[in-house]
Amino acid sequence: MAAPSLHRLFSLWLIVFPFKCALFAVIFAGPLALAEETTFAKAFLYLVQVLTGASIPLTPWAPSGKALGIAIANSMGIIKQLILALHIGLTAGPMIEPVLDWEVGLWRCCVDGKLFVGRTNAGIYRKTAISWLNTSLFCVVLSFAAGGILAVAEGWPYWNGVVLVLGEVTSSATVLPNQSKLGPDTTGGIIVGFIVGVLAAAILGIIIAVASVPLLGFDLKFDNTHAVRSKPTMLLTKEQQRRLGIELGASEKGTVKSGWMPDTGDKNGTKMAMAGWKFWGVCLEESLDTWPNRAPDSTSDRA
């Protein structure tokens, strides 16, 4: 069950999230460029940096202090917070549920049960420490890889690139004292900086989702959630859809119980990017509808 769930989770953070950031940047870069009398490219890179929350600057340009420019920049900051919060909510809800079946694996010497689910005080503390160790290891490996690419693209010392990326993905914004420029100049460096910024947002969002719900032992309930009901095939695995009332036929295309959208059999996560900009508009439009009561979600009680 974890594989399709991870497929959706990665699509949410690595396709839909940057797509939304780029979309808002495209829409508002023009007005910002006009207000600040600068180029569209500078305004676009600045807004992408704001919307992804990247600490590695994609451009040295920033608004000069004109009222409209400051208003647009701060409005994008609020939009960034909303996009991040919405993605964290989706992650903490239906998308994270199948991942909670992960066993402790190599850590069975220290804890038992499921890796991300705390049921006792000792389990919460120990699994939090294990999550910190796992995340730290992942961030270090990612920084050595992406930092090396960034250093080569910019002609920096290897260690400078590693430390800069490590500061990004850990949200610490660390840099070495001899780092003369905090941001990339080359196209390759800007692309790496953007990707690292998206990965940093994904790491932060997934950590918040896991630590704030299952790691504390909270159980999941999302059977009456409108966001899930409006796009079940985007947000739920087939097993979750069956449990919540979607009837699949032999071809896995199947029939649908009243009010539910059919399972399209979508196995291509990139379709989420094409539908992402429509998603919240659909939620707003359909929120006026009254959904009939459904069978309650019988989420498994994980140990």
Q: Is pLDDT above 80 for 297?
A: no
pLDDT computed for residue 229 by the predictor:
67
CA distance 285 to 128: 39
The predicted model gives 90-95 an average pLDDT of 82
- Confidence check: pLDDT of 116 > 70: yes
- pLDDT reading at 140 higher than 50: yes
Average pLDDT over residues 92-108: 75
Q: What is the pLDDT of residue 122?
A: 80
Instruction: Write out the two tokens for 101.
Output: 């079946």
Instruction: Extract the tokens encoding 284.
Output: 């707003």
Q: Work out the average pLDDT over 247-261.
A: 38
**What is the rounded CA–CA span in Å between residue 43 and residue 87?**
25
Burial class, 135, CB count within 10 angstroms (exposed 0-12 / middle 13-18 / buried 19+): middle
- Sequence-distant (6+) residues with CB within 8 A of 278 are none
For the ranges 2-11, 76-85, 227-236, the maximum mean pLDDT occurs at: 76-85
- Residue 60 DSSP class: S
Amino acid at 50: V
pLDDT at 220: 66
Phi, psi of 298 (to 5 degrees): -105, 65
Residue 267 pLDDT exceeds 80: no
pLDDT tens digits along 145-159: 999 999 999 999 999
Band of residue 180 on the pLDDT scale cut at 50, 70, 90? low
**What are 104's two structure tokens?**
């402790």
Beta bridge partners of 103: 114
Q: Tokens representing 252?
A: 């896995």
Residues of the chain with pLDDT > 90, as a percent, come to: 45
95, 85 Cβ separation under 8 angstroms: no
Predicted pLDDT at 14 = 94
> Which residue ranges make up each domain of the chain?
2-216, 226-286
Residue 134 has pLDDT above 60, yes or no: yes
* DSSP state at residue 58: S
Per-residue HEC secondary structure of 91-117 comes to HHHHHCCHHHHCECHHHHHCCCCECCC
Retrieve residue 234's tokens. 């985007």
The CA distances from residue 274 to 11, 80, 209, 269, in Å, are 11, 20, 25, 10
Model pLDDT, residue 256: 37
State how far Cα 272 lies from the chain centre: 13
